[in-house]
Structure 1
């Protein structure tokens, strides 16, 4: 299946061009968190979407409707339209019943609910009839689909950080069964509200850094957790023959998706490396690829101790003791650029991998100075590297003992 469109609405990022520029140049969009007063709060950094104007992306949306939608809904609507336009698809190019939209989101409209309830209990606001729209977890997906004229399968998944890959898995089945001609796959997350940060901060998962340029250091022994990011990313997918026939630009091919429940521990991954390595071997077998053909691993890379350790041991087990580390494919994390976006992180990884394939260039793992002994591989730490990038394996891990991987390749 071909990725033909990319639609980002991310921190400092409203186009494919800016998304790629930030990745390639290693420009982090993490900054000081000002969504609420952090004077007495340990967490000071996050990646925030600023200066978003829905009118630039949704010119046909009446203001009276936009006033009833949350910022979350409008951003997802804009990302879907961005992906459609980037794919070169007009709304009348595909039968509405032959298009679908599947998304991933881990927390739903919790930011909206927290703000609404706080205002309500302080006597500064009340609930009204149209609050049923922004108050439901799936409405960003359904409202976006309505605006873009989609009448096929529309659904939202909630499986934490692997949700984006699972959404892609569902979309691929729709295309493979010829139920759809075009499937859009999206991820969105809006976690920048105080209770959310308090929960993750209490588990020592969030960085306490105060200097934005030093936030998030995945695979580095100096790591101290991640910074949250917010926004939405949407991809357009089509069968390869259809994309070629209409002369579409093809960023990359999706060869297959693997999903597994480790059935081991609710919050941490397999720390032996063997379970994940066996899973990745199975994914490669299924898509007819060999390990020595992989040019790059797009890591989950949350800058937390157990994630870094588990990924490092998995890669070591995958290659075994007979392969020199100098022969391992590079692995980096893109999360230091846009923050950890939870349910959207997988879709961001896929988009980043697709552009690395398309541009034949690996993006750097920024903020890496002292590689953890368990993470001693090629991190492309020196900066962007122009090289052959034809086969990629992208990985995701989630609370709930879930693991997922996506195999991607360059079009012939």
Structure 2
């Protein structure tokens, strides 16, 4: 069976940098950070004092406020991003195509805010005070469900939950849905709103988050003084469709998605496999799927969490996969500016990948002041770089040993 070519025709995002793609992208390539002092808790409540919060987000701008109240914050982000992506794609969903338009949006944690709020109500006032919308607001698949309802998309509707790889897995899975002919168009990405007391408590206990109190320098991937990730929130969504559909609509094509690799470490619940062995296999699988050689990749959007083992092992993995080309490969971690959006990271970073191709600009890794000797590749330190970008690989890795690599190429006939 001949595989269909799949292209990106729309992008949407809500991030700690801005509540749209253009504002986010402009700040990103300037090297500006969306990280600030956490506003949701009292200072000193946790060892971590900073977060990458979405600011000034009004769900009423994107949806009926009454409906928004029945959605957790992560779902509101997903709906907003999807509406922006569909509008950007100039896509109309109606009876003529609804059955061939699907939604696949991942979330690593789902409705943490909803869970905490309703548990407190239950403890204080009993089960009758728990919202009847508690379950549908909390479950991770509701981002996809609500986007489908909002847009009238009746095709494949699913959600991948693979921790911090959820957004990337969802895009890859949606890509394969179209490639095998089960849908013509997919609205896909990730959404997360994890900045809650329990999430902070859990990650603090795991000693995974940075305890650097300075929001400007807390996220510092590949720097020797990195001490953990900075939690973020938001959503990133792409419109994927067959090349035939895009051409028939006269749609703007950002890039072509050509490769998807997904593997499991089978090693540890939180730690990556030594030497990034699982990531190596995912990256190689993506290259094989795209029918590309390592030397054809111009830019690697790294998972780059600013944790000790991720950054070191991802560097080793890149050397393993790219060989001599690793020395010439531009690599950056946009998490240095957005923080780590957990299940939304792969969605937001896919948006960055296609914008990089279209604009010919590689976002920097900020806060590299003292490079780690074990992280000795070109991480585009501190300033964006203008460069012709033919192909981007975007990595996402998650607790449970999930490894994902996506490949986007400059579109040519």
Structure 2-normalised TM-score?
A: 0.93
Note the 1:51-66 alignment, pairs <5 A. Answer: 51-58=56-63, 61=64, 63-66=65-68
Shift of the 120–365 alpha-carbon distance from structure 1 to 2, 3 Å rule, reads same
Q: Which residue is equivalent to 1:181?
A: 184
Shift of the 234–282 alpha-carbon distance from structure 1 to 2, 3 Å rule, reads closer
Q: Deviations over 1:19-46 (max 9, x none)?
A: 2112211111110101122333211100
Does the CA contact (< 8 Å) of 1:319 and 1:328 recur in 2? no
Q: Which residue is equivalent to 1:211?
A: 214
Q: Which residue is equivalent to 1:318?
A: 321
Q: Which residue is equivalent to 2:391?
A: 391
Q: Deviations over 1:233-261 (max 9, x none)?
A: 11100112321232211111110201111
How many angstroms does 1:324 deviate by?
Answer: 7.5
CA distance, structure 2, for counterparts of residue 191 and residue 404 of structure 1: 21
Q: Which residue is equivalent to 1:116?
A: 118
Q: Deviations over 1:338-377 (max 9, x none)?
A: 1111111111111111100010111110111111112111
| Residue 356 (structure 2) pairs with residue 346 (structure 1) | no
Aligned residues: CA RMSD? 2.0
Shift of the 112–394 alpha-carbon distance from structure 1 to 2, 3 Å rule, reads same
Shift of the 113–214 alpha-carbon distance from structure 1 to 2, 3 Å rule, reads same
Q: Which residue is equivalent to 1:364?
A: 364
Q: Deviations over 1:274-294 (max 9, x none)?
A: 554354234323311111221
Range with greater deviation from structure 2 (285-294 or 129-138): 129-138
User: What is the aligned length?
Assistant: 406
| Residue 20 (structure 2) pairs with residue 15 (structure 1) | yes
Residue 96 of structure 1, aligned match among 98, 101, 105: 98
SS of the residue 2:46 aligns to: coil
Shift of the 200–132 alpha-carbon distance from structure 1 to 2, 3 Å rule, reads closer
Shift of the 241–220 alpha-carbon distance from structure 1 to 2, 3 Å rule, reads same
CA distance, structure 1, for counterparts of residue 325 and residue 348 of structure 2: 30
Range with greater deviation from structure 2 (256-265 or 92-101): 92-101
Shift of the 275–208 alpha-carbon distance from structure 1 to 2, 3 Å rule, reads closer
Q: Which residue is equivalent to 1:24?
A: 29
| Residue 41 (structure 2) pairs with residue 36 (structure 1) | yes
| Residue 411 (structure 2) pairs with residue 411 (structure 1) | yes
Shift of the 129–265 alpha-carbon distance from structure 1 to 2, 3 Å rule, reads closer
Q: Which residue is equivalent to 2:88?
A: 86
How many angstroms does 1:224 deviate by?
Answer: 0.7
Q: Which residue is equivalent to 1:45?
A: 50
Structure 1-normalised TM-score?
A: 0.93
How many angstroms does 1:178 deviate by?
Answer: 2.3
Shift of the 108–273 alpha-carbon distance from structure 1 to 2, 3 Å rule, reads closer
Shift of the 18–218 alpha-carbon distance from structure 1 to 2, 3 Å rule, reads same
Shift of the 157–277 alpha-carbon distance from structure 1 to 2, 3 Å rule, reads closer
Does the CA contact (< 8 Å) of 1:271 and 1:309 recur in 2? no
SS of the residue 1:306 aligns to: helix
Q: Which runs of 5+ in 2 are unaligned?
A: 1-5
Shift of the 276–117 alpha-carbon distance from structure 1 to 2, 3 Å rule, reads closer
Q: Which residue is equivalent to 1:143?
A: 146
